[in-house]
Structure formats: C-alpha cells, structure tokens
C-alpha cells in the first residue's frame, strides 16, 4: 500500500460518482487522493463542411477546461471530507494511457463506468475497458447512482492465481470496511448425455461440489495473511456459470471483486469473459484485480 488512490475525472456524472466512492474509501483507509484529468487536442475537422467546436479551440482552452474540471472535483472532495489530502494532475494524452501511467505504485485507480464520450448503454466505456487491462494496480469501476456502503465483499474464486489474488484483495478490503467476504466458486456439472442417469448425476455433482469447495479452501489458505485473520469468509460453491453465480450472490454486496482472468485464460491482452460480463452487468462497484508485479 502506497497510500494513494487515483481517480479519473472527466466532468461526467459517472466520474463524479466515482470520485465520491473514492472519497469514502480514502476516508476509511487514510489514503490521499490524486485526481487526474487527461485531455486531447481534437484535430481539425472537415467532415462535409462540419467543424467541431473543440477543434477550433487553442491549446490554452483545453488547459483551462482541465483546470476548471479538477478544481470543481477538488471542491467536492473538500465538501465531503475537508481533512482529506488531494493532489490534482492535468495531462495531455489518451485518458486510459494517462491513468495507466498514474496507476504505477498506486493502491487503486477509480473510474466511472462510462465517461463523457460514451453512449448511454450498459456496456463499459472505452477508458474503463482499456484500464481493466492496462492498470498496474487494482481498478474499481463505479456506475451511476448511489453505491452501497454496507454488505459483504463478494469475490469470484477459481483454481487460478488470478482468483487467489482477487480473494486476497477482497479480504483486505473487507478488513478496511469491517465487513465479511463471500467467496463464490461456480461449477458446471453435466453434459446433456449424462443427465438421464440419476445416480451418475448425483455422484458427479458431489465430486465437483467438493472440488469447488476445495478450491476456495486452498485459495483462502494462500490469500489470508496474519493481519486479516479476523475477517470472516463465507465459502459458496454453486452450480452454474461463473459470472451469473457471482452476480446472483452479490445482490447485497457493497463491492464485487473479480480477477482480470481465470483458469480459462487465453491471452492477457483481453479481459477474461467472466470479469467482462460481471463488469457489464453489475449494478454496484466492481474491483478488477490482476496478478501482482513480480
């Protein structure tokens, strides 16, 4: 822990909610905030005679706009937590790249699900999508509206180091929040060809249930440290698809934690299918956790 939480600010309503989430988290853990606004100089547009407003602005306009957005965000921080330390960073560049650079040695990066440039849709915006892979620390993505402040931390666990590291992060967060962890391991049992044999079905279900429970136990033994020994962890082994199982068991959660990938990892340049579905469908903040730097 370096004591620094990076927050992506772009002036959108969802980045405002992300800021408020980050203020609440920093107030619990004693971190300082770094508010980051990235701006791009829009190239000159000549699209069938249309010229965009931003394209006609000098560089000073973008610099002043960035400063004003950050000042407004800092004022909100002072309103919510007057004693919280807050640094402001304005930088020209692609927002995901700027925030990824700021993530080095940070505890966490916090962004809204969608920003100013995203359509009003449930899917992730381009910045949050890219950061889920590019950030060098855990990434928390916050949607619109109020976020829950009570309930357990729910984490998806599988037989991979990504799942174990996600559990480690979930336990640490639960310790800060003085709550419990619900560790969800999902399994799918049967091919249709076996479903007609009730005895075989029961035996296979018992075996994979035991395997899922052992997965949680093994991950917990590796993830729990001496400083988190008091955090209660509820193991949940459930039949079904992983993303759906996590979401179903997170209806009362204040935070969902997933690894960037799971045991089905193919390429590190893409977010895993389970974590992507959870991010797209969750109605509460989601933390995406990669492997620690070696």
DSSP 229: T
Q: What is the mean pLDDT of residues 91-120?
A: 84
- Per-residue confidence band for 16, with pLDDT thresholds at 50, 70 and 90: very high
pLDDT at 293: 63
Instruction: Please state the length of the chain.
Output: 294
Q: Are residues 164 and 285 in the same domain?
A: yes
Q: What is the mean pLDDT of residues 94-122?
A: 80
Angle at 62 between CA 57 and CA 67, to 5 degrees: 150
Among the candidates 142, 164, 199, a domain finishes at 142
DSSP 271: -
Q: Are residues 243 and 211 in the same domain?
A: yes
Q: What is the mean pLDDT of residues 137-142?
A: 96
Min mean pLDDT across 6-15, 51-60, 69-78, 113-122 is at 113-122
Q: What is the mean pLDDT of residues 263-281?
A: 68
Dump pLDDT digits (tens) for 216-233.
999 999 988 877 889 999
Alpha-carbon distance of 292 to 271, in angstroms, equals: 16
- Whether the Cβ atoms of residue 212 and residue 187 lie closer than 8 Å to each other: yes
Dump pLDDT digits (tens) for 163-178.
999 999 999 999 999 9
| Within-domain flag for 249 | yes
Q: DSSP alpha helices (H): ranges in 81-197?
A: 95-102, 126-134, 161-177
Residue 293: which of 148, 114, 104 has the closest Cα? 104
In the predicted structure, residue 123 carries a pLDDT above the cut 50: no
Q: Are residues 113 and 179 in the same domain?
A: no
Query: Which residues, in sequence order, are bridge partners of residue 139?
Result: 109, 288
Q: Are residues 103 and 158 in the same domain?
A: no
Q: Are residues 158 and 134 in the same domain?
A: no
| Within-domain flag for 27 | yes
Q: Are residues 77 and 34 in the same domain?
A: yes
The tally of domains found in the chain comes to 2
Q: Are residues 10 and 129 in the same domain?
A: yes
Phi, psi for residue 210 in degrees, rounded to 5: -65, -40
Dump pLDDT digits (tens) for 177-191.
999 999 999 887 655
Q: What is the mean pLDDT of residues 74-92?
A: 96
pLDDT at 208: 79
> Residues near 163 by Cβ (< 8 Å), separated by ≥ 6?
156, 157, 215, 219, 259, 262, 263
CATH code of 77's domain:
3.40.50.620
What radius of gyration do the chain's Cα atoms show? Answer: 21
Burial label, 47 (beta-carbon count in 10 A; 0-12, 13-18, 19+):
exposed
- Per-residue confidence band for 2, with pLDDT thresholds at 50, 70 and 90: low
Q: What is the mean pLDDT of residues 147-151?
A: 95
Query: Which residues, in sequence order, are bridge partners of residue 259?
Result: 289
pLDDT at 271: 59
In the predicted structure, residue 160 carries a pLDDT above the cut 80: yes
In the predicted structure, residue 52 carries a pLDDT above the cut 90: no
Q: What is the mean pLDDT of residues 140-144?
A: 92
Residue 240: which of 205, 267, 266, 214 has the closest Cα? 205
Q: 45 or 221: which carries more pLDDT confidence?
A: 221
Question: Which structure tokens are listed for 146?
Answer: 């109020």
pLDDT at 132: 86
State the chain's mean pLDDT as an integer.
85
- Per-residue confidence band for 90, with pLDDT thresholds at 50, 70 and 90: very high
Q: pLDDT > 90: what percent of the chain?
A: 55
Alpha-carbon distance of 231 to 211, in angstroms, equals: 23
DSSP 22: H
Q: Are residues 189 and 61 in the same domain?
A: no
In the predicted structure, residue 157 carries a pLDDT above the cut 90: yes
pLDDT at 82: 96
| Within-domain flag for 294 | no
Q: 267 or 41: which carries more pLDDT confidence?
A: 41
Q: Are residues 111 and 205 in the same domain?
A: no
| Within-domain flag for 110 | yes
Q: Are residues 171 and 272 in the same domain?
A: yes
- Whether the Cβ atoms of residue 24 and residue 149 lie closer than 8 Å to each other: yes
Q: 273 or 141: which carries more pLDDT confidence?
A: 141
Burial label, 96 (beta-carbon count in 10 A; 0-12, 13-18, 19+):
buried
| Within-domain flag for 147 | no
Alpha-carbon distance of 14 to 246, in angstroms, equals: 23
Residue 22: which of 9, 12, 11, 10 has the closest Cα? 9
Phi, psi for residue 271 in degrees, rounded to 5: -70, 140
Task: Supply the range of the domain harboring residue 196.
Answer: 153-289
pLDDT at 273: 84
Dump pLDDT digits (tens) for 232-241.
999 999 888 8
DSSP 249: T
> Residues near 38 by Cβ (< 8 Å), separated by ≥ 6?
8, 10, 90, 91, 92, 93, 94, 95, 97, 98, 99
């Amino acid at each position: 822990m370096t004591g620094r939480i990076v927050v992506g600010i772009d002036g959108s309503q969802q980045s405002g909610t992300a800021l408020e989430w980050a203020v609440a988290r920093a107030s619990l853990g004693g971190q300082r905030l770094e508010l980051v606004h990235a701006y791009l100089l829009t190239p000159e547009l000549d699209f069938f005679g249309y010229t965009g407003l931003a394209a006609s602005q000098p560089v000073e306009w973008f610099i002043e706009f960035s400063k004003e957005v950050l000042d407004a965000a800092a004022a909100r921080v002072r309103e919510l937590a007057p004693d919280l330390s807050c640094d402001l960073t304005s930088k020209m560049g692609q927002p995901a790249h700027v925030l990824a650079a700021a993530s080095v040695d940070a505890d966490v990066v916090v962004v809204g699900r969608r920003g100013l440039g995203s359509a009003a849709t449930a899917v992730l915006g381009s910045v949050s999508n890219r950061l889920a892979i590019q950030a060098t620390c855990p990434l928390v993505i916050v949607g619109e509206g109020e976020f829950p402040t009570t309930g357990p931390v729910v984490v998806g666990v599988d037989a991979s180091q990504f799942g174990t590291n996600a559990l480690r992060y979930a336990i640490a967060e639960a310790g800060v929040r003085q709550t419990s962890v619900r560790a969800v391991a999902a399994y799918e049992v049967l091919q249709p060809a076996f479903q007609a044999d009730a005895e075989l079905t029961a035996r296979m279900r018992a075996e994979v249930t035991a395997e899922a429970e052992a997965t949680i136990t093994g991950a917990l033994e590796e993830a729990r440290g001496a400083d988190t020994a008091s955090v209660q962890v509820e193991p949940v082994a459930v039949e079904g698809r992983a993303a759906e199982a996590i979401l179903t068991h997170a209806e009362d959660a204040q935070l969902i934690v997933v690894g960037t990938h799971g045991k089905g990892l193919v390429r590190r340049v893409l977010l895993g299918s389970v974590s992507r579905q959870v991010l797209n469908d969750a109605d509460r903040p989601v933390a995406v956790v990669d492997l620690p730097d070696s």
